[in-house]
Amino acid sequence: MTTVLLLLITGVGLGALYFLVASGLSLIYGLMGVLNFAHGSFLTLAGFLGWEVGRRVGDGSWAGLLVGMLVGLVVGALVAAITELVFIRALYERHIEQVLVTVGLGLASVALFEGIWGTDPIQIRLPEWLGQTTDVLGANIPNDRWLLIGSAALVLVLIVLFLQRTSYGLVIRAGVENRTMVTALGIDVRRAFTVVFAIGGAAAGLGGVLASVYYGQVGAHQGTSLLIYAFIVTVIGGLGSLSGAAIASVLVAVIQQFANFYLGGTGDLAVVLALAAVLLVRPTGLMGKVTH
Amino acid sequence: MTAILTVRGLDARIGGQQVVEDVSLDVAEHGVTALLGRNGVGKSSTIKALLGLTERTGVVTFAGERIDGLLTHRIVQRGIAYVPEDREVFGGLTVEENLRLAERAGAPNRAIIAELFPELLERAKQQAGTLSGGQQQMVSLSRALMNENRLLLVDEPTKGLAPRIVGTVTTALEAAAERTPMLLVEQNLQVVRALAHTVVVLSGGRVVHTGPATAFLDSDLVHRHLGVSTDQEAA
């Protein structure tokens, strides 16, 4: 029972990390039809810069970590918005070219990060509490999972509030359904594109700093490896669906944890099989209903 | 007759295929100009091309200004409202959200919705996707009519609607046409007879006839170009 509980809660913690990356991917695809392969770069850059600023504020301190998370949010949002304005906007409706550009950015940025911070991951210092565990009904849950779960839940609530309560949110929800009709109502939907990129980038940026907390290190390939799972989550959840991304993030991570423990480290295989099963049974994903 | 919209040599393509070829037409600054033709001749594509929703070439002038190089939202912001074929309401949004989204700068006239479609007010919080086809058309028309427009582009507004709703929609369009010129695509010739003063007939993506509506509807040109007789129209 304690093992099940441990796997469940650590799974949800990992799912929180997946969600931070997948939420932006899903919103961006839902609204713009762009598969953003550069999303992992936002995460990695935010992770590095968050760590760089955070350790200067206070290496291993809460203040350093919180400042790092804030820097991650801002860096992610800025880099994503610039990417949209400079690279994506010029290729509006040219989806193949958009994919090529984002793949190119993703590959080139990893090389750039390796050039600046080296090829080996850098171990980081964290507040002591994050390295400890909390007893939950006999299961010792690593404390960093609570930070991940809390942050992702907060991001989910903030994005939902933004989508439900603001005029940009209304445009984005409508655009995910029918982008063409939004423009035919006289709305410049391109502004919403930039906003969605910035929101997705901010979530990924926060994810970058929290990924370094989860793994205890920052590295040039962190974004790339998480991006693969985030894409799987996005497809399983349904492209364009935020709630789908949230549910699929937890599902994928929990399946991964259980398969790793009970089926001899086959977590990755289990995730791919889950993806195949969803695509066969429900090709639009769990909550997807996007039409373009 | 002065034209609010003039179209010269309009070509449009969808997915690389030419769907509109060398169309030239004028929309008068008052009343309704009907764009007619059999299914698939390019009526809806012509409207979409005017709005920049499809790849197009040609000269489109609106109130003296070239608009053929503008993006769709800029064209609409100049006061051209679009009521699309198949309504295209946002099914996941409420009726109120659909209307709020469509409010353009200026002073949107919400009172007109209460006047034309009072039942929409009772359904303000209902998801538009759960409305009947007729109610969705009311939302679609309201989105257009509540703004200050200088031209209405209305595509098959009575398609698939029950006769009672057709009457409601026709009345609403009649009222709208008193204030704003309209280019109307419509298969129901009774509606065309009730609303239009001029017809432009397309065949194979080209204009084959332009003239007064009543004269066209009373002639055998109806059968030649639309494949129906005036008797069928009356029925």
Q: Looking at residue B230, what is its pLDDT?
A: 55
Q: Which residue of B has its CA nearest to A191?
A: B73
pLDDT digits (tens, 9 = 90+) for A235-276: 999 988 899 999 999 999 999 999 999 999 999 999 999 999
Contacts B73 to A, Cβ<8 Å: 183, 185-189
pLDDT digits (tens, 9 = 90+) for A1-16: 789 999 999 999 999 9
Strand B206-212 relative to strand B182-185, pairing: unpaired
Contacts B84 to A, Cβ<8 Å: 181, 184
Q: Which residue of A has its CA nearest to B51?
A: A184
- Cβ density class B97-136: b for 16+ within 10 Å, e for less: bbbebbbbeeebeeebbeebbeebeebeeebbeebeebbb
- Select the more confidently predicted residue: B164 or A147: A147
Picking from A170, A177, A183, the nearest residue to B72 by CB comes out as: A183
Q: What is the mean pLDDT of residues A134-156?
A: 95
For the domain spanning A2-281, the CATH number is: 1.10.3470
Give the E-state strand segments of chain A in sequence order: 122-123, 133-136, 139-142, 217-218
Q: Looking at residue B1, what is its pLDDT?
A: 65
Q: What is the mean pLDDT of residues A112-130?
A: 96
Q: Which CATH superfamily includes the segment(s) B3-234? A: P-loop containing nucleotide triphosphate hydrolases (3.40.50.300)
pLDDT digits (tens, 9 = 90+) for B104-133: 877 788 899 999 999 999 999 999 999 999
Sign of the torsion angle spanned by Cα atoms A259, A260, A265, A268: positive
How much is the ipTM here?
A: 0.91
Residue B178 has pLDDT above 90, yes or no: yes
Min CA distance, B8 vs chain A (Å)?
22
Q: Which residue of B has its CA nearest to A165?
A: B97
Picking from B71, B92, B143, the nearest residue to A185 by CB comes out as: B143
Q: What is the mean pLDDT of residues A174-196?
A: 92
pLDDT digits (tens, 9 = 90+) for B214-230: 999 998 888 888 877 65
Average pLDDT over chain B reads 91
How far is residue A151's CA from residue A68's CA, in Å, rounded to a whole number? 13
Picking from B84, B91, B93, the nearest residue to A184 by CB comes out as: B84
Q: Which two tokens stand for residue A288?
A: 């997807």
Q: Looking at residue B105, what is its pLDDT?
A: 79
Helix axes A144-165, A189-215, angle to 10 degrees: 170
Residue pointed to by tokens 């910035």 = A198
